[in-house]
Structure 1
Amino acid sequence: MTQALARLLYLLAGLAGRLPWSWLMRLGDAIGAAWLRLDARESRVALCNLELAYPDLLPAQREQWRRQILRTTGRQMVETLRLWTRPHAQNLALIREQHGVELFDAAIRAGKGVIVAAPHHGNWELLNQWLASRTPLAILYRPPESPVGEAFLNLVRADAREADGSDRVTQIRAEGPAVRQLFKLLNGGGVTGILPDQQPKAGDGEFAPFFGVQALTMTLLGRLAERTGAAVLFAWCERIGTDHGAPVFALRIEAAPADVADRDPAVAVAALNATVERIARRDPAQYQWTYKRYTLRPPGSGEENPYWNR
C-alpha cells in the first residue's frame, strides 16, 4: 500500500509539474491564500515565528509579512514539484545569475573537502541540482516521518538518476552512522550539503541566538569543519523575478566566517546562526518561516514550547 500511494503521489506530482508556469504560480498563490483563510498550521507557525523574530513589527506589518511568506511558501511547493519531475538541464536554465562560483571551484580543487551550508532560503532543491551538475556530493537529510513520504522521495531520486544517467547525489540519513560517513567523505576531498538551520535532537546541539531568540543549533557542521579542515561555503538560490511567468533565480555562494569552524561549539553555532540570519534578512518572505525552529527551549529557562497551541 505504501508503494502504491507513493507512486500515485509521484504521478500527480508529474502531472502538476507539466502545467504552464503561470498556472503553477497561481496554484501556489491559491495554496498560500487557503492556508491563511483556514488558519492552517503553516499560517499559525509563520505568525508565531514572526512574533518571536520580529517583535517590533506593528500588527498590520506582521500580517502583511505573513501573507507574503505564505504566498512564497505556496510557490516554493509547486516550484519543487516541477523541479523534481522535469529534466535538470531545463531546471538549471532558471538560474540567470551566478555569484561566487569561483569560490566553490577553488574549494574543490584544494582537495580538502567542501561543506556547503544551504539555509532554507529561496529554493534549495534548485541549489541541490546545481551542485550535482558540478560535482558528486552527499546530502545529509532527515527522513520524513511518513513511510509514504519516504517512498515518494525514493521515486524522485530514482527518476533523477535515470534521467541524468548518473548517480551524483548520495543521500545520507541524519542518524548515527552519518557522522562517520561524512568524516570519511570530507577527509577524502568530497563535497557534502547540510541544511544548517534544522533543529537537531535534544543533546545534539548548542543553544545560540537566532533572530534574538535562543535556538538549539547543530554542532555537527562545526565539528566536521574543525576536524577535517574542509572549506565551508554558504549557498542559496534566491528568486529575483519572473520571465514569461516562470520564476528566475540568482545563485549565491560565499565563504563562511572562520568562527563556524571554531573549536568551541558555542562560538561555532553562534557564527552559524548569525550567517543564516543575515541571509534570511535579505528577503524574509523567501525564508522558511513555516518551520518550528524554536520548539526546544534551553534547560532551566522555564520557557515553554511557543508552538504548543499552534
Structure 2
Amino acid sequence: MLAKLAVACLWLVSWLPFRAVGALGSMLGTLLYALPTSRRAIGRTNLRLCFPTRSEAEREAILRGHFIAIVRMVLEYGYCWFASPARLRRLVAIEGLEHLTSLSPDTSVILSMPHFTGLDLVGLRLSLETPTVTIYARQKNPWLDAFIRAKRLRLNTGIVFSRQEGVRSSVRALREGYRLYYLPDQDHGLRDSVFADFFGVPAATITGLPRLAALTRARVIPCYPRREAGRYTLVLQPPLADFPSGDLSADARRMNAVIEQQVLAVPKQYFWLHRRFKTRPPGRPPLYEGKARASDDSAGGEPSILPPTID
C-alpha cells in the first residue's frame, strides 16, 4: 500500500513544472539535511576525505546542496515514469551527442555514467536517441518491482536486465547493437575490484568497465548529467582513447580520474551518501563510524532515502 501511495504522489508531482519540482525539492531537501542522520555523517566523511583543502563551510554547502539534489531526483521519478517522449526531450538536452552518433552502428558502445542525481531521467532521455540496455536492482516488493520494470520499458526504446542475471545478457545485447548504460563507481567489496585512488583516497574500484570493453571491443563514452534551472543537460564526452589498456589497475585509475573531473563540474550532484571507501586496503583502519547497513553493503544497494532502482 505504501509503495502504491508513493507512486500516486509522484504521478501528481509529474504534472508540476520542472522549476516547481525544483523549488519543492529545495524545501524538502533542506529539511532532510537538517536531520542528524547517519547518511549526513557519511556525506561529511566523504567530502572531508575528497576535499581536504576546502573549508568546512564549503563542504557543508556542497552537502546541503546534495540533499536538495537527492530529493529533487526522487520527485523527478514522476517524470521518468509518466512524462511523454516530447516532454522528456524538453526536460533533458544532450550535449556532445555527436560523440555517439559519429560511431558506426556496428560499434559496441558503453556509456559510463557515475552515480549522479538525475541519472535515471537522462538515461531514459538518451534511449530516445539510441537503443539502450540498463541493469537494475530488483525490488523486495513484487508489485513495485514489476511497476518499475514496466516503466523502464514503456517507451520501447531499450531493454533492462536485473543484476542477478549476470553480465552475459549485457554482452549479448551489446553485440546486438544496444548501447550499455553502465554505472561503474560504487564500492562492491574486493571481488572483481582493485584499489585505485579517488580524490587521493584508495577506493575499491570494480573492473567491470574495462573487462566488458575488452570482451566486446566496445568504445567507452563517459557521461554525466548537469541539472540546470529549467532542465537537465546530459553531457556526453569523447570516447576514451586506448581504453582498455590491458592493465586493470591502470584502467581503474584512469576511470576514477575521469569521474573526478565530472564531480568537480557538478559537485553537489554527485552521490556522496554511499560509503565509497568502506572497503579498505589491508591494515588500514575503517573510515566510517558505526556498522554499515545491509542496503549499503550489498552490491548495487541504495541508501534508504532513495528508490533503489539503479545498480
TM range (shorter): 0.7 to 0.9
| Cα separation, 1, equivalents of 2:115 and 2:268 | 11
- CA deviation profile, 1:83-142 (whole Å, cap 9, x unmatched): 32222321221234x3221121123x2413111111123521222112211222211233
**Is residue 47–residue 66 contact of structure 1 (8 Å, CA) maintained in 2?**
yes
| Cα separation, 2, equivalents of 1:85 and 1:45 | 33
**Is residue 219–residue 240 contact of structure 2 (8 Å, CA) maintained in 1?**
no
Mean Cα deviation higher: 79-88 or 153-162: 153-162
Q: Hey, what does 1:29 align to over in structure 2? A: 26
Alignment partner of 2:269 out of 280, 283, 286 = 286
Change (3 A) 1:42 1:80: farther
Regions of 4+ moved over 6 Å: none
| Cα separation, 2, equivalents of 1:216 and 1:14 | 38
| Cα separation, 2, equivalents of 1:92 and 1:44 | 37
Alignment partner of 1:271 out of 246, 254, 257 = 254
**Is residue 187–residue 228 contact of structure 1 (8 Å, CA) maintained in 2?**
yes
Alignment partner of 2:213 out of 225, 235, 238 = 225
**Alignment gaps of 5+ in structure 1:** 243-247
| Cα separation, 2, equivalents of 1:238 and 1:75 | 13
C-alpha root-mean-square deviation of aligned residues, in Å? 2.3
Alignment partner of 1:143 out of 126, 138, 144 = 138
Q: CA deviation at 1:20?
A: 4.1
Q: Hey, what does 1:101 align to over in structure 2? A: 97
| Cα separation, 2, equivalents of 1:85 and 1:307 | 40
| Cα separation, 2, equivalents of 1:32 and 1:63 | 14
Q: CA deviation at 1:255?
A: 2.6
Change (3 A) 1:239 1:309: same
Letter in 1 for 2:235: R
Percent of aligned positions that are identical: 26
Change (3 A) 1:160 1:171: closer
Letter in 1 for 2:76: E
DSSP 3-state at the match of 1:241: coil
DSSP 3-state at the match of 1:192: strand
Letter in 2 for 1:31: L
For residues 76-115 of structure 1, the aligned pairs below 5 Å read 76-96=73-93, 98-107=94-103, 109-115=104-110
Mean Cα deviation higher: 40-49 or 282-291: 40-49
Change (3 A) 1:229 1:159: closer
Q: Hey, what does 2:305 align to over in structure 1? A: none
TM-score normalised by structure 1 residue count: 0.85
Q: Hey, what does 2:295 align to over in structure 1? A: none
| Cα separation, 1, equivalents of 2:267 and 2:88 | 24
Alignment partner of 1:185 out of 148, 173, 176 = 173
- CA deviation profile, 1:143-194 (whole Å, cap 9, x unmatched): 35xx12x6425313324545x3x3x32222223x422222222233331110
For residues 123-142 of structure 1, the aligned pairs below 5 Å read 123-142=118-137
Letter in 2 for 1:156: I
Letter in 2 for 1:112: T
Q: Hey, what does 1:302 align to over in structure 2? A: 284
Q: Hey, what does 2:15 align to over in structure 1? A: 18
Q: Hey, what does 1:213 align to over in structure 2? A: 201
TM-score normalised by structure 2 residue count: 0.85
Mean Cα deviation higher: 180-189 or 131-140: 180-189
| Cα separation, 2, equivalents of 1:5 and 1:123 | 23
**Is residue 136–residue 162 contact of structure 2 (8 Å, CA) maintained in 1?**
yes
1:117 matched to 2:105? The reply is no
**Alignment gaps of 5+ in structure 2:** 293-311
More helix by share: 1
